Amino acid sequence: MNGLIGSLRAIGYVLVVLIGIGWSCSAKVCAETDDAFFESKIRPLLTERCLQCHSAEKGKTQGGLALDSKLGWEKGGDSGTAIVPGNVDESLLIQAVLYGEGLQMPPEEAGGKLSDAEIALLKQWIQHGAHDPRTSASKRGGMTEEQLRAWWSFQPLKPIAVPDVAETGFRNEIDHFISAKLESAGLQRAPEADRRTLIRRVTYDVTGLPPTAAEVEAFLADTSPQYYDILIERLLQSPRYGERWGRHWLDLVRYADTAGENTDHPIPDAWRYRNWVIEAFNSDLPYDQFVREQIAGDLLHANDTQEKYRQGIISTGYLAIARRFDHDIDKFTHLTIEDTIDTMGKTFLGLSVACARCHDHKYDPISTKDYYALYGILNSTRYSFPGCEAKQQPRDLVPLQSDAQWAKINEPFQVQLSAIDAELKTLNETLANQASDFQSQSSKSMSRLAAGQIAEGANHTLAESAPSNADSLTKIDVKVGQIVQLTIDPSGDYGADSTLVEWEIQELGGASRKWNLVEDLLSDGVAANPHKDSYNNEATWLLLDGRKSLSLLPEKVVQLSGQPGLVAWRMGDNPAVFANTTDKPIAVWTSLPAKTLFVHPAQDGPVAIAWVSPFDGHVSIRGRIADAHPGGNNGVGWRMDFFAADHSTLLKQMIAANSQRPVLMAKRNDVVAQSPVREFAYAVTEGMVANAKQHLRGDPEKLGDEIPRRWLELFGGEAIPPSAGSGRLQLAKWMSDPSNPLVSRVLVNRIWQHHFGKGLVQTPNDFGTRGILPTHPELLDWLAAKFIENNFSIKSMHRVILKSATYRQSSIQPLTSIIETAENIDPNNNLLWRFDRRRLTAEEIRDSLLAASLQLDLKPAGAHPFPPSSTWGFSQHGPFAAVYETNKRSVYVMTLRNRRHPFFGLFDGADPNASTPQRQVTTVPTQSLYFLNDPFFHTQSELIGRRVMLQSETDRRLDVLFQIVFQRLPSDAERGTAANFLSSYMSTVVDQSEQDAAIFAWSALTRAVLSSNENLYLD
Partner 1 sequence: MTRNTHAPNRRRFVRSAVASSLLMPGILSEILAADSAEQSNPLSPKPPHFPAKAKSVIFLFMSGGVSHIDSFDPKPKLIEDHGKEVVFDHPETRNRPGYEKIFLKRPDWKFSPRGQSGIEVSDLFPHIANQADDIAFIRSMHTSHSNHYNATLGMHTGSFAFARPSIGAWMSYGLGTVNQSLPSFLVLAPDMPYAGTQVWASDFLPGAHQGTRVMPGSEPVANLVRRVPQSKQQELELEVLKAFNASHQAKRMNDPQLAARIKSFETAHGMQTEMPAALDLSQESDATLALYGLKRGETSGFGWQCLAARRLVQRGVRFVELIHTGSSGNWDSHGNMADHGRLAPQVDQPIAGLLQDLKQQGMLDDVLVVWTTEFGRTPFNNTADAPGREHHNWAFTSWLAGAGVKRGFVHGATDEHGIRATEKPVHVHDFHATILHLMGIDHERLTYRHGGRDYRLTDVHGHVVRNVLS
Contacts with partner 1 in 869-888 (CB under 8 A)?
Answer: 876-879, 881
From CA 515, how far away is CA 588, in angstroms rounded?
Answer: 29
Cβ neighbors of 632 (< 8 A, separation 6 or more) are: 456, 496, 497
Q: In the complex with partner 1, which residue's Cβ is closer, 438 or 937?
A: 937
Q: Which stretch binds partner 1 (CB under 8 A): 17-25, 478-486, 587-595, 927-935?
A: 927-935
924 counts as binding partner 1 under rule CB under 8 A: yes
Q: What backbone torsions phi and psi does residue 141 show, to the nearest 5 degrees?
A: 60, -125
Dihedral sign (CA 701, 705, 709, 714): negative
1008 counts as binding partner 1 under rule CB under 8 A: yes
The DSSP line for 597-661 is: EEEE-BTTB-EEEEEE--SSEEEEEEEEEEESSTTSS--EEEEEEEE-S--HHHHHHHHHHHHHH
Q: In the complex with partner 1, which residue's Cβ is closer, 493 or 934?
A: 934
From CA 392, how far away is CA 872, in angstroms rounded?
Answer: 6
978-1007 footprint of partner 1 as x/- string (CB under 8 A):
x--x--xx--xx----------x---xx-x
Q: What backbone torsions phi and psi does residue 569 show, to the nearest 5 degrees?
A: -115, 130
Least distance (Å) from partner 1 to the CB of residue 490? Answer: 34
Question: Which residues 23-62 are close enough to bind partner 1 by CB under 8 A?
Answer: 59-60
Asked whether the beta carbons of 186 and 825 are under 8 A apart, the reply is: yes
799-818 footprint of partner 1 as x/- string (CB under 8 A):
------------xx---x--
Q: In the complex with partner 1, which residue's Cβ is closer, 108 or 403?
A: 108
The DSSP line for 420-454 is: HHHHHHHHHHHHHHHHHHHHHHHHHTEEEEEEEEE
Least distance (Å) from partner 1 to the CB of residue 316? Answer: 23
352 counts as binding partner 1 under rule CB under 8 A: yes
* From 932, 955, 956, 996, residue interacting with partner 1 (rule: CB under 8 A): 932
Least distance (Å) from partner 1 to the CB of residue 825? Answer: 8
From CA 278, how far away is CA 276, in angstroms rounded?
Answer: 5
Amino acid at 135: T
Q: Measure the N-to-C terminal CA separation of the chain; round to a whole number of Å.
A: 75
Number of residues in contact with partner 1 under rule CB under 8 A: 93
946 counts as binding partner 1 under rule CB under 8 A: no
Question: Which residues 739-758 are close enough to bind partner 1 by CB under 8 A?
Answer: none
* From 914, 951, 954, 968, residue interacting with partner 1 (rule: CB under 8 A): 914
782 counts as binding partner 1 under rule CB under 8 A: no
16 C-beta neighbours (distance < 10 Å), count: 11
Q: Which stretch binds partner 1 (CB under 8 A): 222-230, 767-775, 793-801, 884-892?
A: 767-775
| Burial of residue 230 (number of CB atoms within 10 Å: 0-12, 13-18, 19+) | middle
**How many residues are there in the chain?**
1019
Question: Which residues 573-632 are close enough to bind partner 1 by CB under 8 A?
Answer: none
| Cα–Cα separations (whole angstroms), residue 677 to 266, 268, 672 | 21, 16, 9
Cβ neighbors of 485 (< 8 A, separation 6 or more) are: 442, 544, 608, 609, 610, 611, 640, 641, 642, 643
969 counts as binding partner 1 under rule CB under 8 A: no
Question: Which residues 829-858 are close enough to bind partner 1 by CB under 8 A?
Answer: 837, 839
Question: Which residues 399-438 are close enough to bind partner 1 by CB under 8 A?
Answer: none
Question: Which residues 167-186 are close enough to bind partner 1 by CB under 8 A?
Answer: none
Dihedral sign (CA 772, 775, 777, 783): negative
Question: Which residues 664-683 are close enough to bind partner 1 by CB under 8 A?
Answer: none
Which run of H or of E encompasses 381? strand 381-383
Q: Burial letters for 311-337: b for 16+ Cβ neighbours within 10 Å, e otherwise?
A: bbbbbbbbbbbbbbbeeebeebbbbbb
* From 39, 217, 820, 955, residue interacting with partner 1 (rule: CB under 8 A): 820
Q: Which stretch binds partner 1 (CB under 8 A): 90-98, 684-692, 849-857, 917-925?
A: 917-925
Least distance (Å) from partner 1 to the CB of residue 264? Answer: 7
* From 146, 223, 973, 993, residue interacting with partner 1 (rule: CB under 8 A): 973
Q: What backbone torsions phi and psi does residue 772 show, to the nearest 5 degrees?
A: -90, 140
Question: Which residues 527-546 are close enough to bind partner 1 by CB under 8 A?
Answer: none
866 C-beta neighbours (distance < 10 Å), count: 18
Question: Which residues 241-280 are close enough to bind partner 1 by CB under 8 A?
Answer: 260, 262, 264
Q: In the complex with partner 1, which residue's Cβ is closer, 12 or 902?
A: 902
Question: Which residues 81-110 are close enough to bind partner 1 by CB under 8 A?
Answer: 108-109
For residue 486, what are the β-bridge partners?
609, 640
* From 230, 238, 977, 999, residue interacting with partner 1 (rule: CB under 8 A): 977
Question: Which residues 108-137 are close enough to bind partner 1 by CB under 8 A?
Answer: 108-109
Q: What backbone torsions phi and psi does residue 586 show, to the nearest 5 degrees?
A: -115, 130
From CA 18, how far away is CA 29, in angstroms rounded?
Answer: 14
Q: Which stretch binds partner 1 (CB under 8 A): 125-133, 309-317, 930-938, 950-958?
A: 930-938
From CA 123, how far away is CA 45, in angstroms rounded?
Answer: 13
906 counts as binding partner 1 under rule CB under 8 A: yes
Least distance (Å) from partner 1 to the CB of residue 982? Answer: 9
931 counts as binding partner 1 under rule CB under 8 A: yes
920 counts as binding partner 1 under rule CB under 8 A: yes
Q: In the complex with partner 1, which residue's Cβ is closer, 535 or 936?
A: 936
Q: Which stretch binds partner 1 (CB under 8 A): 125-133, 147-155, 785-793, 915-923?
A: 915-923
Q: Which stretch binds partner 1 (CB under 8 A): 90-98, 209-217, 243-251, 899-907?
A: 899-907
Q: Which stretch binds partner 1 (CB under 8 A): 155-163, 347-355, 410-418, 691-699?
A: 347-355
1012 counts as binding partner 1 under rule CB under 8 A: yes
Q: Which stretch binds partner 1 (CB under 8 A): 163-171, 544-552, 570-578, 970-978?
A: 970-978
* From 905, 955, 956, 996, residue interacting with partner 1 (rule: CB under 8 A): 905
Which run of H or of E encompasses 31? helix 2-31
Question: Which residues 502-521 are close enough to bind partner 1 by CB under 8 A?
Answer: none
Q: With helix as H, strand as E and coil as C, how does 243-306 read?
A: HHHHHHHHHHCCCCCECCCCCCCECCCHHHHHHHHHHHHHCCCCHHHHHHHHHHHHHHCCCCCH
From CA 480, how far away is CA 506, in angstroms rounded?
Answer: 15
Least distance (Å) from partner 1 to the CB of residue 260? Answer: 8
Asked whether the beta carbons of 808 and 205 are under 8 A apart, the reply is: no
* From 215, 437, 555, 934, residue interacting with partner 1 (rule: CB under 8 A): 934
From CA 346, how far away is CA 339, in angstroms rounded?
Answer: 11
Q: In the complex with partner 1, which residue's Cβ is closer, 222 or 1014?
A: 1014
From CA 772, how far away is CA 266, in angstroms rounded?
Answer: 38
Question: Which residues 471-490 are close enough to bind partner 1 by CB under 8 A?
Answer: none
Q: In the complex with partner 1, which residue's Cβ is closer, 233 or 820?
A: 820
Question: Which residues 288-327 are close enough to bind partner 1 by CB under 8 A?
Answer: 325-327
From CA 440, how far away is CA 444, in angstroms rounded?
Answer: 6
Q: Which stretch binds partner 1 (CB under 8 A): 224-232, 293-301, 860-868, 967-975?
A: 967-975
Least distance (Å) from partner 1 to the CB of residue 780? Answer: 18
Question: Which residues 353-372 are close enough to bind partner 1 by CB under 8 A?
Answer: 355, 363-364
Which run of H or of E encompasses 972? helix 972-988
Q: In the complex with partner 1, which residue's Cβ is closer, 276 or 962?
A: 962
∠ at Cα 621 (618, 626), nearest 5°? 170
